Amino acid sequence: MKINFNDHNSDSFNDLYKRVQQRAMERLEATTMSTPTLNEGHNMHLAIFEDTIYDYLRRDVSIYNWVPAYEATGQPTMWFDQANLPSNEQFSSPTTLAYKAIDSDYGRQPKSAMIKCITSKFSVPFFNTLVSKQQGVLPDFVVKDIADWAISFKRFVNSKMYFGSDTSLSSPSTLEYMGIMTQITKTATRAKTATTVNITDLLETEVAGMDSDTVNATGSNGDLAFFMNPMTMDLWVKQERAINSNFRPETAEVTPGFIVPALRSSKGLIPVVVDPYISVTTNAGNSSYDHTILLLNKRMIERRYVASPNPMVFDFNQLTDQLNSDKLAVLFDTVIVRGASFAHDKITYQVAQ
C-alpha cells in the first residue's frame, strides 16, 4: 500500500498515519477471514493431544488363555498317554478265591514333543521418547505400545496353536507348532445334504458318543468347551430361533464372573467359546462353506514351556550405536493334545453355498 504525504503539519501526519493503520487492519482482517493462519494476533496455535489413545481392536485371546501351561521336562518334553484300564476282575467261589492271570495292559505309550521358539522385536524410537516425555504423555504412550505388542504376540500364538504347519510333535519338519487342527484325529462331518441335522443335534450326538465310550473320554463337563467361529455361533442361534422364536442360548460360568453361551448335552452345560481364529473355509470342490467346531477337553490339552509360560522380554540394542529402546521377546513352548484320537473332537458342519 503506497501513501503520498506532502503536508508539513505534524497533526495532519498523525491523522493520516491513523487512517493508514485502520486500512491495514481492514486488509489483514479480510485476508484472515478467507485464508486461515496459525499466526493470528501474533499467537502460535500448536496441536495438543490428550494422552489417551482410543481403539476398538479386539484384545482378548481365546485358546491361549484357556489352555493350561506346565513346565516342560526337557528338550524334547516327554510324557505317557494311557488309553486302557487293566481288567483283573472275575467272579469266584467264596471258598476258593480263584483269580485271573494278572492283566497289566494299561495302554501306556511314551511320547515326546520338541519345544518351539517364537520371537518378536519391537522398538521405542529415541526421538519419540523425548517428545512424549516433554509433553508429559510418556507413561501412557509407552504402556500402550507395550500392551499392544503383548496382545499382538498372544494373538499370533493363538492362531498358530490351531493352525501351526508342522505335522509331527517328535520329528518336526517346520519351525511352527503342530496345530490342534492337525493333532486331533477324531472327526465328524455333517454333510451339506443332511439339511435336517442342525448344529445342536450334531454336537449333542458327538458328546453322547464320546461319553458312552468305555474310556469315558469326555471327563466332567467342567473340563469341556466348544470352540467355534463367530459366524458359526450366529448360524447356530439362527437355526434355533427358526425352531423357537423365543430361543435364548443358555449360559455357563467358566471362571468367576465370566459367563459365556452354553449348549446342553448328556454331560450337562458345555461352554461355547467364540474364537475368530477358527476359520470358516470355502470348500470349492464340495460347493460348501465348512464350519469347524472343536470339542476340547481341558484335562487333555496343554502348553509345555521352558523358563516362562509367557513371552520373556529383553533389551536388544547393546551391540548397536542407536539410541532407540529395542526389545526382543522370546517364548519357548509347544502345544500338546493328549488323547488326540479319542478325548477331543473336530466337527465339520457343511452349509451349501
Pair 122, 76 in one domain? yes
Cβ burial of 260 (10 Å; 0-12, 13-18, 19+) is middle
pLDDT at 148: 84
Q: Is the pTM of this model over 0.85?
A: no
Q: Is residue 332 part of a domain?
A: yes
Cα-based distances in Å from 290 to 118, 228, 236: 30, 12, 14
Pair 37, 116 in one domain? no
Q: Per-10-residue mean pLDDT for the chain, 353 residues long?
A: 54 65 62 51 60 67 89 94 84 92 88 96 75 64 76 92 96 96 94 89 88 59 86 93 86 77 87 92 94 92 94 73 76 94 92 91
Pair 134, 29 in one domain? no
Domain hosting residue 195, numbered range: 47-81+111-353
> The domain that contains 129 carries what CATH number?
3.90.1690
Q: How many CB atoms lie within 10 A of CB 229?
A: 19
The three cell numbers locating residue 242: 427358526
Q: Is residue 212 part of a domain?
A: yes
Pair 242, 322 in one domain? yes
| Partners of residue 298 on adjacent β-strands | none
What is the C-alpha to C-alpha distance for residues 88 and 83, in angstroms, rounded to an integer?
16
pLDDT at 258: 74
Q: Is residue 71 part of a domain?
A: yes
Cα-based distances in Å from 251 to 42, 258, 262, 266, 296: 64, 10, 5, 16, 18
What is the C-alpha to C-alpha distance for residues 156 and 148, in angstroms, rounded to an integer?
12
Q: Is residue 213 part of a domain?
A: yes
**228 with 203: CB under 8 angstroms?**
no
- Please write the tens of the pLDDT for every residue from 57-103: 666 778 998 899 999 999 999 998 887 788 889 999 999 999 999 98
pLDDT at 127: 74
Pair 126, 273 in one domain? yes
pLDDT at 252: 84
- Please write the tens of the pLDDT for every residue from 232-264: 999 999 999 998 888 888 888 877 777 888 988
Pair 133, 266 in one domain? yes
**Count of domains in the chain?**
2
Pair 153, 176 in one domain? yes
Residue whose grid cell is 517364537: 118
Pair 57, 200 in one domain? yes
Q: Is residue 102 part of a domain?
A: no
